Amino acid sequence: MLPARDLVTVRDLGPRLHRAGINTLSEGFFINPRNPQYNYETWKRDYDSSIAPEWRLAKANNFHVLATGDEVCETLEVKRGGR
C-alpha cells in the first residue's frame, strides 16, 4: 500500500515512483461511521476532510488511485455477528 500522503512526507517520492513506472497509489474510498444515526452531512464533511484531499493529491502528482476498502459492503448486522 502506497498512500498519497507519502508524496508529501517522503522527499522526491513522486518523481522516483514515476521513473520506476509506478502510476497508481492506494487510497480508501469509504468511511464507515459505525453508527446508524450518522447523517449524510456529517459523513460528507468527514469524507471531504479526510479522503478527498488524498485523491486530489494523487491527481495533482499525476497518479491514479486504486480505491480500496471492504467496509462499504458490510453492514452493522454483519459486524455484530449476524448474517
Identify the pLDDT of residue 15.
Answer: 96
Please answer whether residues 22 and 71 qualify as being in contact, where contact means their C-beta atoms are separated by less than 8 angstroms: no
Identify the pLDDT of residue 64.
Answer: 95
Q: Which domain holds residue 64?
A: 6-79
Domain count, the chain: 1
Q: Residue 29, class by beta-carbon neighbours within 10 Å (0-12 exposed, 13-18 middle, 19+ buried)? A: middle
Give 28-74 pLDDT, tens digit per residue: 877 777 777 778 898 889 889 988 999 999 999 999 999 887 666 66
Where are any strands of DSSP class E within 1-83?
24-28, 64-68
Give 13-22 pLDDT, tens digit per residue: 999 999 999 9
Please answer whether residues 64 and 58 qualify as being in contact, where contact means their C-beta atoms are separated by less than 8 angstroms: yes
Instruction: Give domain status of residue 72, yes or no.
Output: yes
pLDDT of 83 > 70? The answer is no
Instruction: Give domain status of residue 48, yes or no.
Output: yes
Instruction: Give domain status of residue 1, yes or no.
Output: no
